Amino acid sequence: KELEWYRLKTLMPHYEERDEIVAKIPNFWKIVLSLHDDFANYVRAADFKYIDAIQFLVVKWQSPRDFDITIGFQAVDQELPAQTVKKHFYHDGDDMKSQPVELKHNLPPRKRHNRFFDWFQWQGLDDKSEFPNGDDLARLITDEIYPLCVKFYTEAQRDVADEDSDDESSEPELL
Gap between the Cα atoms of 147 and 55, Å rounded:
17
What is the predicted pLDDT for the residue at 111? 65
Confidence tier at 165 by pLDDT (50, 70, 90): low
Mean pLDDT of 63-81: 94
pTM for the model stands at 0.87
Residue 165, helix vs strand vs coil: helix
For residue 121, the number of C-alpha atoms closer than 13 Å in the C-beta half-sphere is 15
Q: For residue 102, how far is the Cα from the chain centroid? A: 17
More confident residue, 98 or 117: 98
